[in-house]
């Protein structure tokens, strides 16, 4: 593992050549999921979340597990599963601004501008910047950034997406 970490660090510090880049193309760095403040191996995390969700008796108890599960699903590229997880949170009785942010990001990636605007606006209306002071990428600031992008005329024209019902 030390050799792998050394190669990944070197790849970040020194841009790889075309031959090296092809060799590293299958490597995708992820932020390990956290459960109760501790980072876990992804397979252990999935087992623990499944066990914890089965033991939960109220929707409020599920919230931290679902939130981290959805974030991890987005991290590994399982956008459809992440969308279902965050919809479960947003559709529940508890307020979760992070779920609104991630639903906005997913809608933005799917070029569903109407839903992206809806989720980001709901986040901004229900939360303040101070609610997320400890986060590096503040969701309220990011939502403002996305809304500014969505309001640009050039962006609206280039990313027009029809939604059929």
**Residue 59: per-residue pLDDT:** 81
Among the listed residues 63, 62, 136, 71, the one whose alpha carbon sits nearest the alpha carbon of residue 102: 71
Supply the DSSP string of 42-58, one letter for each residue: HHHHHHHHHHHHHH--S
**Residue 2: per-residue pLDDT:** 63
Among the listed residues 43, 32, 45, 141, the one whose alpha carbon sits nearest the alpha carbon of residue 97: 141
**Cα gap 163→131, rounded to integer Å:** 33
Could you give the C-alpha distances from 103 to 87, 99, 119, 129, in angstroms and in order?
Answer: 8, 6, 7, 18
Q: How many CA atoms lie within 13 A of 157 on its CB side?
A: 3
**Residue 159: per-residue pLDDT:** 53
pTM value?
A: 0.75
**Residue 106: per-residue pLDDT:** 95
**Cα gap 65→75, rounded to integer Å:** 15
| CB contact set of 142 (below 8 Å; sequence gap of 6+) | 101
| CB contact set of 49 (below 8 Å; sequence gap of 6+) | 35, 65, 68, 69
**Residue 160: per-residue pLDDT:** 53
**Residue 165: per-residue pLDDT:** 46
List the pLDDT tens digit at each of the 165 positions of the chain.
567 777 777 767 776 666 766 776 777 777 888 888 898 899 999 999 999 999 988 888 899 999 999 999 999 989 999 999 999 999 888 888 899 999 999 999 998 888 999 999 999 998 888 887 776 678 888 888 888 888 877 666 555 555 554
Among the listed residues 102, 96, 116, the one whose alpha carbon sits nearest the alpha carbon of residue 159: 116
């Amino acid at each position: 593992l030390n050799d792998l970490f050394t190669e990944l660090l070197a790849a970040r510090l020194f841009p790889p050549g075309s031959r090296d880049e092809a060799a590293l193309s299958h490597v995708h760095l992820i932020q390990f999921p956290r459960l109760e403040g501790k980072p876990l191996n992804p397979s252990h995390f999935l087992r623990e979340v499944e066990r914890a969700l089965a033991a939960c008796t109220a929707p409020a108890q599920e919230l931290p597990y679902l939130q981290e599960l959805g974030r991890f699903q987005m991290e590994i590229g399982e956008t459809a599963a992440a969308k279902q997880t965050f919809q479960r949170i947003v559709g529940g009785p508890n307020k979760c601004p992070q779920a609104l942010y991630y639903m906005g990001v997913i809608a933005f990636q799917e070029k569903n501008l109407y839903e992206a605007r809806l989720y980001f606006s709901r986040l901004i209306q229900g939360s303040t910047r101070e609610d997320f002071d400890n986060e590096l990428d503040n969701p309220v600031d990011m939502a403002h950034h996305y809304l500014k992008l969505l309001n640009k005329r050039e962006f609206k024209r280039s990313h027009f997406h029809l939604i059929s019902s």
